Structures are given as C-alpha cells and as structure tokens.
C-alpha cells in the first residue's frame, strides 16, 4: 500500500494505491500532474497556455494534450448550451474548469494500465476511486460544508464513479456565467456531481454551477449524472438518484 500527498497545480494532490507497495507508480502519477501544471498553468509565464494567450502560437498548432482539452471544452460548451466556455470575455483561454478532472482521469488510466484496481486519486476535490480502501471496504468520500471546511455534510460511496465539486467558497468568484460576462453566479455556493468518471463529473459540475440554482435541474436531466447543490442559505437540493450513493 502506497499513499502520498504533494502540492501541485496550487492544490493538494493525493494518490493512494492499495494494491501493494508501489512508490514507482505514485512517482509516475505525480510526474504526470507536474507535466500538466507546466503545460496548463495560467501562473507560469513559460507554460503553453500562456504562450497561446500571448499570441505566440495558435491553438490549432498546439500540443496534442492542449488540443484534446480544447476539444473537450468545446464539447462541454455545446452540451451545456454555452454555460461552459473556456474563452474569457477578454478573448484569452482558461481551461482550468476542465483540466483538473482531465488530469485525475489520466492518473487513473496510468494506474489501471499497470493492472492495479484498488486506488484513490484526489486533486483538490476532484476524485476518482476504484475497488476498496486499505481496510477492504468501498471508498467513502465526504462532501464538505461550504460554510465550514471542517465539517462533512454528506458522505457518499462513488462505487468506481467520479466525483467533483464546483464552488466559489474556496477560491472566490472564479466561476462566472459566460452568457452574461462579468456577472457573478449567485444563489449557489457549491455543487457536487457524481458521473461515469471524474472528467464527466468535473466538466458538468463547472457548467452547472454557472447556471446558478437551475444547475441542479440541468444535472437531473443528464443521463448518468447525479448532483447535490448547496445554496447561499445553506439549503441542499439533490437529484433523484443521488441518495443511492449516500452512506447509511
């Protein structure tokens, strides 16, 4: 069993592999996260995304990884009726609403390619798990109270599915409504989505959060997704199938 947490991409990233002692595998996974940070960081002047935003290279000539993320962003924009848009009002590109889930999904693929089936990867609340934990029980994920980070308001068992939470309570107003540039998202504090994998959960959590309170109804209409919304008054609303994942 191997477990490590490192600070990458400006957030804690935890990798927990239960299938034996595999520090080499953990190093490979963290190396991938570090490569993603070097390519997609908006805070590193030498990153590829910063070069694109400075006009030094065009997106169509970018790396395969950059073009893959851009294609996923465009797909999400179409599927969310424009509520997800990686293009900022000033014309620059910000793929952060999708990169984290994409990186966690890639981490899971690295682990599974090695034949490992019992693991847990968490990058700032975007989580992909599989199999059982070190105690031989299904992984349990806690949803934090957005008004009190030390309190868990709901515990769920994803059962191999991905889970992601979007909100403005940690990083401030970094999610906006792209259909109304400059307008803050109001009425909602956090939105957790469970999806087929962490990438699906992450991209739709970001899009649905931008919709405000209507986001939970959007998630309800999507096949394979369940959600849990906390509004500004602390009142929670969940989709019809979310309770199937809540621990008793």
Per-residue pLDDT of the chain (248 residues; tens, 9 = 90+): 899 999 999 999 999 999 977 888 999 999 999 999 999 999 999 999 999 999 999 999 999 999 999 999 999 999 999 999 999 888 999 999 999 999 999 999 999 999 999 999 999 999 999 999 999 999 999 999 999 989 999 999 999 999 999 987 554 445 667 777 767 788 999 999 999 999 999 999 999 999 999 999 999 999 999 999 999 999 999 999 999 999 96
Q: Is residue 4 packed enough to be buried (19+ CB in 10 Å), middle (13-18) or exposed (0-12)?
A: middle
pLDDT of residue 207: 95
Residue 161 corresponds to which tokens in the numbers above?
Answer: 């599915």
Task: Note down the domain range covering 236.
Answer: 2-245
Give me the long-range contacts of 219-226 (CB less than 8 A, separation at least 24). 219/191, 219/193, 224/195, 224/196, 224/200, 225/193, 225/194, 225/195, 225/200, 225/201, 226/193, 226/194
Torsion angle of C-alpha atoms 185, 151, 139, 129, degrees rounded to 10:
30
∠240-180-193 over CA atoms, to 5°? 25
pTM of the model: 0.94
- Cβ–Cβ < 8 Å for 184, 176: yes
Query: What tokens were used for 17?
Result: 């592999």
Contact 36, 103 (CB under 8 A): yes
Residue-level pLDDT at 173? 46
Q: How many domains does the chain have?
A: 1
Rg, the chain, Cα only: 18
Looking up tokens 């994942």 gives 245
What CATH number is associated with residue 131?
Answer: 3.10.520.10
């Amino acid at each position: 069993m191997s477990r490590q947490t490192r600070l990458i991409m400006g957030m804690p990233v935890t990798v927990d592999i239960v299938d034996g002692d595999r520090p080499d595998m953990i190093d490979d996974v963290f190396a991938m996260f570090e490569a993603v940070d070097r390519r997609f960081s908006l805070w590193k002047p030498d990153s590829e995304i910063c070069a694109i935003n400075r006009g030094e290279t065009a997106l169509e000539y970018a790396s395969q990884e950059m073009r893959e993320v851009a294609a996923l962003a465009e797909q999400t924009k179409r599927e969310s009726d424009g509520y997800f848009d990686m293009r900022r009002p000033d014309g620059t590109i910000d793929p952060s609403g999708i990169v984290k889930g994409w990186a966690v999904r890639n981490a899971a693929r690295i682990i599974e390619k090695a034949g490992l089936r019992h693991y847990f990867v968490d990058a700032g609340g975007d989580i992909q798990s599989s199999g059982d934990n070190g105690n031989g029980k299904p992984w349990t994920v806690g949803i934090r109270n957005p008004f009190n980070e030390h309190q868990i308001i709901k515990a769920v068992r994803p059962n191999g599915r991905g889970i992601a939470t979007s909100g403005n309570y940690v990083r401030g107003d970094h999610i906006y409504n792209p259909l109304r540039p400059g307008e803050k998202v109001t009425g909602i504090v956090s939105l957790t989505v469970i999806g087929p994998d962490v990438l699906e959960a992450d991209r739709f959590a970001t899009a649905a959060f931008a919709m405000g309170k209507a986001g939970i109804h959007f998630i309800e209409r999507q096949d394979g997704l369940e959600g849990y919304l906390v509004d500004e008054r602390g009142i929670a609303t969940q989709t019809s199938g979310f309770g199937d994942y809540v621990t008793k």
